[in-house]
Amino acid sequence: MRRAHRVEQVRAAEAELMGRLPEGTLMQRAAAGLATAVADLLGTVYGARVLLLVGSGDNGGDTLYAGARLAARGAGVQAVLLSERVHPAGLAELRRRGGRVVDPAHVRRPDVLVDGIVGIGGCPGLRPDAAAVLARHEGVPVVAVDVPSGVDVDTGRLDGDHVRADLTVTFGTHKVCHLVDPAAEACGTVHLVDIGLDLPEPVVEALGPDDVAGLLRLPRAFDHKYTRGVLGIRTGSPGYPGAAVLGTAAANGGLCGMVRYSGAAPEAVRAAHPEVVVGEGRVQAWLVGSGSGDDAGPGLERALQDDVPVLVDADALLHLDPAAGTERAGLVLTPHAGELASLLGVDRGRVEADQLRYAREAAQRYDAVVLLKGRHTLTVAPDGRARATTTGNAWLAVAGSGDVLGGLVGALLASGLGPFDAASVGSWLHGAAATYAGGPLNASQVARAIPSVVRALVR
């Protein structure tokens, strides 16, 4: 599991550790990890041209010491100083190892650019001089030190100019911006260097394969279809039968014991999935909304009467009453950015720019787990817990993908997982299934890949 912490948490942990270590130890650990990562990216260090963009503070010190290590291995290392106050010992070490300070206007095109402009304490946005240097070297691979300069570290927002990194080398722990979009997309690949920090509970998590395998409810020797959970589905309509077919396909993948369908597209479901029981009956969870049109409101109302967890998607989201939150069983809401904007009465652009904030706001307002669909889907609980999904690929941006996600999360709810775990595990499996299926792909291929992904996890 990847764990992300706020800047204040990281600073406190660093201060505590520095009090127990010789001076400079943490910086040398960070510099060693950074230099190794840059060397791995280059492949061949000797003769490579490395350009350091160096700001003030410890972030600049990490960059200078890493540059010194690369220079000692034969790289041609040049540094552009973007502050009058750079780390003096780091600068002296760079020069001792053969690195040079240069005027930004007279730099040959480097093989790699190391962004040490500002660290986790920096404000969003870049000064014009820093932005200008970056613009001169557009297209050169960029390694960001700790975080891409200019991003909002604690929120994942982007305000103004910022670095777009191919690789971000971070220290001690992930930060929120590494997991939460839109800043996460600017980080490129994130590599974590362990420097020995003792950290509190994270503010955002990202599940890994072992986490997902440990959370899945697997069948036991004396289980039967009812003890494994029954999911009820009220989705689809005569105009949109595919929503019902795709949702039942994902739910019917073996993660719960039985699927009941009671929506308005029974013949399409029967034809596609003979295992699905068409008709009413007891269930342990409901999936409602996608493709339901005018039936979405009544379908949601009937599902809420059963006092079981309910996954609310698409059309049914429009019929939610936030005032009723404390009177119902666990809810999972699965909006995209536009639907979340409608739920909160804000502009879609604001949601896309500040995804974690608005997902948390909706979770609290509706007393529900909110799964905000996107490149890094966010799952947020009413108490503020948050998980980011880092599986998946761009081929998931296809019609019916959300229907598959709803059926998958619904099956996990019916199996007995709590709403927060069901939503985040389902989102992880959804992305992993898309990766397994490859691309180009359609939603049916994602649904068919789910059992293979689960088998690989629990084997």
pLDDT digits (tens, 9 = 90+) for 427-444: 999 999 999 999 999 999
Long-range contacts, 211-217 (Cβ 8 Å, 24+): 211/1, 212/425, 212/428, 212/429, 212/457, 213/457, 213/458, 215/417, 215/421, 215/425, 216/255, 216/412, 216/425, 216/454, 216/457, 216/458, 217/255, 217/412, 217/415, 217/416, 217/417
Binning pLDDT at 50, 70 and 90, where does residue 186 land? very high
pLDDT digits (tens, 9 = 90+) for 33-87: 999 999 999 999 999 999 999 999 899 999 999 999 999 999 999 999 999 999 9
Rounded CA separation 71/65 (Å): 10
What topology does CATH give the domain 2-206?
Answer: Rossmann fold (3.40.50)
pLDDT at 57: 86
- Does 211 score more than 60 pLDDT? yes
The CATH architecture assigned to 209-458 reads: 3-Layer(aba) Sandwich (3.40)
Rounded CA separation 159/126 (Å): 9
pLDDT digits (tens, 9 = 90+) for 188-202: 999 999 999 999 999
- Does 409 score more than 70 pLDDT? yes
State both tokens at 288: 């409602």
Average pLDDT (143-171) is 97
- Does 325 score more than 80 pLDDT? no
pLDDT digits (tens, 9 = 90+) for 215-225: 999 999 999 99
Rounded CA separation 345/340 (Å): 8
Q: What is the mean pLDDT of the chain?
A: 96
pLDDT digits (tens, 9 = 90+) for 229-238: 999 999 999 9
Q: Who contacts 194 (Cβ-Cβ below 8 Å, separation ≥6)? A: 172
pLDDT at 269: 98
pTM over 0.75: yes
The ranges of the chain annotated as CATH 3.40.1190.20 are: 209-458
Rounded CA separation 390/151 (Å): 19
pLDDT digits (tens, 9 = 90+) for 290-317: 999 999 999 999 999 999 999 999 999 9
- Does 377 score more than 70 pLDDT? yes
- How is residue 459 annotated by DSSP? -
Rounded CA separation 3/10 (Å): 12
The ranges of the chain annotated as CATH 3.40.50.10260 are: 2-206
3-class secondary structure, 40: helix
State both tokens at 149: 């300069």
- Does 123 score more than 90 pLDDT? no
- For 282, other C-beta atoms within 10 Å of its C-beta total 10
pLDDT at 328: 67
pLDDT digits (tens, 9 = 90+) for 126-146: 999 999 999 999 999 999 999
State both tokens at 458: 């629990």
Count of residues in the chain: 459
State both tokens at 123: 């404000």
pLDDT at 324: 67
pLDDT cut 90: percent of the chain above it: 96
